[in-house]
């Protein structure tokens, strides 16, 4: 196990280094001067020069690369053009808020999706087709339609929940009331995917020899389901959750926009409107690190759940 972990972590670190280098190169090598992109083509030359200097773009490429890594290792992502504050502070302040939405919505998706998926593969024809059309529906409705519909229903018609905004965790009740709608919105798609995964894998697993053996031993259906079958479908579920945790950033962008949630993606959108270059770079770097870490975590969890993976 230790050897597997070490190897997998090493691979992740290499991928991370290459991915971060890619960000560095895209900014500098792609045609078009970043300073001009930030300022627009009509900017005065001396202003462009000042921005180039502040970004360190006037130095030779290998010096820039060295300095870039030195700053990264010291967690220095530069200063926002707009607020003049260190980018790392803002990024780290916003990141947990986005994580909260992603983690809660995936948890909700698992809590809803696994039971529905089990019901779907229970063999009753009507249940099975009902749940598969539900899953198809959940996957097909765009995030922003769901979000808008939730605001319309819960905030404007029923007046149960606020339509958006953010309150710190220090006021837990108010915080919770504002978390509910974005989390519901973001959970819809993943729930459909979990239902499909459970259904697809469970009905195949329930036909395998070892399940037949377990039945022949006289185990109850519940014991078969929980001890044998569910354990085996955990690997694909964890894998798909990992993918979703990355893909769901898309849903998060929409959720943060609809519910005015000041997370990482609303930071990115604001930075794009303001051409706040260091902030854009900071957000992209952080999400790449995040996605690679999630992939690593998924591999490690799967190696724990399924020993076979470790020895491949």
Partner 1 sequence: MNRKELRRRCGLALPVTFLLFVALCGVWPGLLATHDPLKTHYDRTFELPSSEFWLGTDQYGRDIYSRLVYGSRITTMIGFGSLAISVLLGVPLGLLAAWYKGIPDMVVMRGMDLLMVFPPIFVGIVAITFLGAGLSSLIAVIGFLYVPRFARVAYSAAKEVSEESYIEAARAIGQTDIAILLRHILPNIAATVTVQAGVSLAFMILLAAGLNFLGLGVPPPTPSWGLMVGEARRYLTINGGILIVWPSTFIVLVILSINAISDQLSSRRSRV
Q: What is the rounded CA–CA span in Å between residue 202 and residue 229?
A: 7
Q: What is the rounded CA–CA span in Å between residue 86 and residue 252?
A: 24
Strand partners, 79: 86
Report the residue from 22, 103, 176, 223 that binds partner 1 according to the rule CB under 8 A: 22
Cβ-based nearer residue to partner 1, 55 or 224:
55
Is residue 297 at the binding interface for partner 1, with CB under 8 A as the rule? no
Is residue 102 at the binding interface for partner 1, with CB under 8 A as the rule? no
Is residue 37 at the binding interface for partner 1, with CB under 8 A as the rule? yes
Is residue 239 at the binding interface for partner 1, with CB under 8 A as the rule? no
How far apart, in Å, are the Cα atoms of 74 and each of 78, 173, 174? 11, 37, 36
Our CA angle for 130, 236, 134, nearest 5°, is: 15
Binding track over 143-172 against partner 1, x by CB under 8 A: xxx--xx-xx---x----------------
Q: What is the rounded CA–CA span in Å between residue 167 and residue 172?
A: 8
DSSP 188-243: HHHHHHHHHHHHHHHHHHTTSHHHHHHHHTT--HHHIIIIIIHHHHHHHHHHHHHH
CB of 135 to partner 1, least distance (A): 10
Is residue 230 at the binding interface for partner 1, with CB under 8 A as the rule? no
DSSP 280-301: HHHHHHHHHHHHHHHHHHHHHH
CB of 11 to partner 1, least distance (A): 11
Is residue 244 at the binding interface for partner 1, with CB under 8 A as the rule? no
Contact call for residues 64 and 57 (beta carbons, < 8 A): yes
| Interface region with partner 1, contact rule CB under 8 A, candidates 63-71, 90-98, 118-126, 241-249 | 241-249
Contact call for residues 116 and 138 (beta carbons, < 8 A): no
Cβ-based nearer residue to partner 1, 247 or 297:
247
Is residue 139 at the binding interface for partner 1, with CB under 8 A as the rule? yes
Our CA angle for 297, 100, 173, nearest 5°, is: 150
Report the residue from 59, 93, 215, 275 that binds partner 1 according to the rule CB under 8 A: 275
Report the residue from 186, 233, 258, 298 that binds partner 1 according to the rule CB under 8 A: 258
Is residue 309 at the binding interface for partner 1, with CB under 8 A as the rule? no
Judged by the rule CB under 8 A, the positions of this chain that interact with partner 1 are 15, 18-19, 22, 32, 37, 136-137, 139-145, 148-149, 151-152, 156, 246-247, 249-250, 253-254, 257-258, 265, 268-269, 272-273, 275, 280, 283-284, 287-288, 291-292
């Amino acid at each position: 196990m230790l050897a597997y972990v070490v190897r997998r972590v090493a691979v992740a670190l290499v991928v991370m280094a290459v991915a971060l280098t890619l960000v560095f190169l895209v900014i500098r090598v792609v045609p078009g001067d970043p300073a001009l992109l930030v300022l627009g083509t009509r900017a005065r030359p001396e202003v462009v020069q000042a921005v180039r200097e502040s970004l360190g773009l006037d130095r030779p490429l290998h010096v820039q690369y060295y300095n870039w890594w030195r700053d990264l290792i010291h967690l220095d992502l530069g200063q926002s053009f707009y607020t003049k504050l260190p980018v790392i502070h803002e990024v780290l302040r916003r990141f947990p808020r986005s994580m909260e939405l992603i983690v809660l919505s995936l948890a909700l998706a698992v809590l809803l999706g696994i039971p529905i998926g089990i019901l779907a593969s229970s063999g009753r024809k009507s249940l099975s087709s009902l749940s598969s059309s539900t899953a198809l529906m959940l996957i097909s409705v765009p995030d922003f339609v769901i979000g808008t519909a939730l605001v319309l229903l819960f905030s404007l018609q029923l007046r149960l929940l606020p339509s958006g905004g953010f309150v710190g965790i220090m006021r837990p009740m108010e915080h919770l009331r504002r978390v509910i709608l974005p989390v519901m919105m973001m959970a819809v798609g993943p729930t459909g995917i979990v239902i499909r995964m459970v259904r697809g894998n469970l009905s195949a697993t329930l036909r395998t020899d070892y399940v037949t053996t377990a039945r022949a031993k006289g185990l109850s259906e519940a014991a078969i389901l929980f001890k044998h079958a569910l354990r085996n479908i955990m690997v694909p579920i964890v894998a798909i959750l990992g993918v979703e945790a990355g893909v769901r950033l898309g849903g998060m962008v929409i959720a943060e926009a609809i519910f005015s949630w000041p997370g990482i993606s609303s930071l990115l959108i604001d930075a794009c409107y303001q051409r706040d270059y260091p902030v854009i770079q900071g957000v992209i770097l952080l999400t790449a690190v995040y996605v690679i870490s999630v992939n690593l975590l998924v591999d490690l969890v799967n190696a724990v759940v399924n020993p076979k993976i470790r020895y491949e």
